[in-house]
Chain A
Amino acid sequence: MSATRHIEQEDLALFAMQLLSTDESATVTSHVEHCAECRQLLAEVQGELAVYAHTVDIHPPSAQARERLMKQVAREKKEVPIERASTPEAGSGYKTGLGGSSTVQDEPKQSFGSRIFPWAGWAVAAGLTVAAGNLYREREVMRSTLVRQAGQMDLLTADVASAQQVMDALTDRTAKHVMLTKAPTTPTPPIPQGRATYVPEKGTLIFLASNMEPLQPNKVYELWLIPADGRNPIPAGTFHPDDRGNASVILPPLPRRIEAKAFGVTVEDEGGSQTPTLPIIMAGS
C-alpha cells in the first residue's frame, strides 16, 4: 500500500471496516481523496458490506426504544426557517382610506386612541425585540454551559477509565505483586506483610497483602479496623490468598468518619465473623 500506487482491494475492504492501523488508514484516506478509481472501488466495497450487514437475523427493538427516540427528537426541536409574512406598508391603508379626502378640519376629529394605536404597535414590537434579544443571549449562555459541561464529562470519563484501570490492576488475579526489601545476607522465609490505605472521611480502604500462608479448608482471613475511640473492632472484609500468597481487600463497606487506631488480621471460619477470634496474626497502626 502506498500513496502513489492504487490501493489493493483487500486493503480497501479492511479500510471500509475500519480495521487498518491509524497510519494505514491515513495512507488510504489520502490516496482515495485523489484517486477516482479507488474511490469508486471503495464505494462498491461499502455497498457489499451494506448487503452483508443485511444477512443479520432481524430482531425488533423494544417499544420503549421508539418512545425514547421520539422524546429526544421532541426535546431537540429544530428551528425551521419561517417565511416572513408580507406586511402591509405602514400607513398605506390609512392613506387610501383617509388620506385622499382628509382635510385639515378632519384632523381634530381623530380620537386619542387612533393617534396612539400606531405607536403602541411599535412599542410592542420594540418590547418583543428586547425580549427576543434576551432569549437569544440566554440561549447562547446555555449553549456555552452545555459545551463546558460536555468537556467536563469527557474529563470525568477519562478519570473513571483511569480509575477503572487501577482497580483492574489491583484486583486482577493474574497480576504479579512484588515487594522490594533490603537483600538479606542469609536466606530467610518470607514474612507475611500487609499494607492498608485508609481514608476515614470517606470510609475508603484498600488492603494489599503478600506472603500470606495458605489456610486450612473452611477458614478465611478477616481484616479488622480497630477504632481509635475504643469501640469494638469493625470487620473490614475477608480474603483468601492466591497460590503465591497474595491477597487484597478493595473498598469494603465501612462506615464513614471512623478514625482508625490500628488494623489487624485474624483467621476465622469461612464466611467471616462479627468479632475477631484471637490470636491477631497481623497488626499495624
Chain B
Amino acid sequence: MYREMGLANAPPQSSQDDAALLALVKRGNEQAMASLFDRYSALVYSVALRVLRDPASAEDVLQEVFMQIWRSPDGFIATRGSLGGWLAVVSRNRSIDALRRKKPMEQVDEMVLALPYNLANEAERNNMMEKARSVIYKLPIEQRKTLEMAFFDGLTHSEIAEMTGDPLGTVKTRIRSALTTLRKAFQA
C-alpha cells in the first residue's frame, strides 16, 4: 500500500514521456497533471485563443481540455498518436464548438491521429512548429487563407465559397492541397 501511495505522489521527472505521465495521472498524481499542463498549456491556450479571440473563453477551453485528461486519461492511448498533436486538435474542436455554442461533437477516445513526432520533447516540438510555419507561409495565398478559414474560423466549405466567391469544389481542393503540401514537406 505504502509503495503504491508513494508512487502516486512521487514528483514526476521533467523528462518523462507523455505515456508515463498519463499513467501517473491515472493513479491520481497531481504533480504529473501539473507537468502535462506546463508542457502543453501554451499550445492548447494559443490554439483556443486563435479560434475564439478572447482570453477568458480560451482559458475556459484550456481548463476543459485538461480536466478531460484528468477525468479520463484512458481517452488518450499512447499508441493512437501524439498527446501534443491530439491536444492541439481537441483544443481547436472544443473552441469551434464554443464558437457555435453547441455541445462537443466528437468522442475524444475515438479520434485516431497519425503523427510520428515526439512532441513531449520541447526541442523537437519547436523544430516542428518552425518547419510547419515555414511550409504554410510558402503556400499560395488562396490555399493558406482557405485552410485558415476552415480550421481556425470553423467555416464550412459552403460558407467559404460564399465569402470568397469560389466554387465549392475549388474550396475543397484548396484545403486538401494545403494539407498534402504540409504532409509532403514533413515526409521529405
A73 contacts the other chain (Cβ, under 8 Å)? yes
Contact between A51 and B115, CB atoms less than 8 A apart: yes
Contact between A70 and B132, CB atoms less than 8 A apart: no
For window 224-261 of A, CB contacts with B under 8 Å fall at: none
Assembly CA distance A65 to B59 (angstroms) = 7
Which of A11-19, A96-104, A184-192, A213-221 participates in binding chain B? A11-19
User: B residues within 8 A CB of A78?
Assistant: 27-28
A175 contacts the other chain (Cβ, under 8 Å)? no
Among A13, A14, A39, A84, max chain B CB count under 10 A is at A13
B123 contacts the other chain (Cβ, under 8 Å)? no
For A55, give its contact among B45, B71, B129 (CB under 8 Å): B129
Report B147-182 CB contacts with A as 1/0, cut-off 8 Å. 100111011110000000000000011011001001
If A10-B172, A53-B92 touch, whether A47 touches B113 (CB-CB below 8 Å) is yes
B interface with A by C-beta (< 8 Å):
1, 4-5, 8, 27-28, 30, 33-34, 37-38, 41-43, 45-47, 49-50, 55, 58-59, 62-63, 66-67, 70-71, 81-82, 84-86, 88-89, 91-93, 96, 101, 105-106, 111-116, 125, 128-129, 132-133, 136, 147, 150-152, 154-157, 172-173, 175-176, 179, 182-183, 186
Given contacts A48-B183, A51-B186, 14 further A-B contacts (CB under 8 A): A19-B150, A44-B114, A47-B81, A47-B113, A48-B182, A49-B89, A50-B113, A52-B147, A53-B92, A54-B88, A54-B128, A56-B43, A69-B33, A78-B27
A-B contacts, 25 of them at CB < 8 A, read A9-B176, A10-B176, A11-B172, A49-B179, A50-B81, A50-B89, A51-B85, A51-B132, A52-B179, A53-B92, A56-B43, A57-B50, A61-B42, A61-B45, A65-B41, A66-B41, A69-B63, A69-B66, A70-B30, A70-B37, A72-B67, A76-B71, A80-B8, A82-B4, A83-B4
